[in-house]
């Protein structure tokens, strides 16, 4: 998971937002988790690579004086467990 975050603001129809939030709640996910997954999937589908902010490889490279990897394949994280 990324260690640093940035805010993304969007405008959406209120009814669509409410339906999205209800669906997320039924799946025991936050809207932010779902949006992050949608973005990762979209980047991967279009062949866009990225290095997550604060990735361990960035820190190792900084300590060793080397360059961090320029690209990293976007990978889907494990799904969160449902609370019982």
Phi-psi region of 54 (alpha: psi -120 to 50; beta: other; left: phi over 0): left
- The C-alpha atoms of residue 54 and residue 48 are separated, in whole angstroms, by 18
Q: What per-residue confidence (pLDDT) applies to 25?
A: 98
Instruction: State both tokens at 52.
Output: 């997550």
The tens digit of pLDDT for each residue in 13-64 reads: 999 999 999 999 999 999 999 999 999 999 999 999 988 888 765 555 555 5
Work out the angle at residue 76's Cα, subtended by the Cα atoms of residues 84 and 79, and round it to the nearest 5 degrees. Answer: 5
pTM score: 0.62
């Amino acid at each position: 998971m990324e260690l640093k975050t940035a805010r993304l603001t969007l405008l959406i129809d209120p009814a669509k937002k409410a339906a999205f939030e209800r669906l997320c709640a039924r799946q025991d996910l936050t809207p932010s988790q779902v949006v992050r997954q949608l973005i990762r999937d979209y980047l991967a589908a279009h062949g866009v690579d990225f290095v997550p902010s604060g990735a361990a490889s960035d820190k190792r490279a900084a300590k060793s004086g080397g360059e961090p990897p320029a690209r990293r394949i976007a990978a889907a994280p494990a799904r969160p467990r449902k609370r019982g």
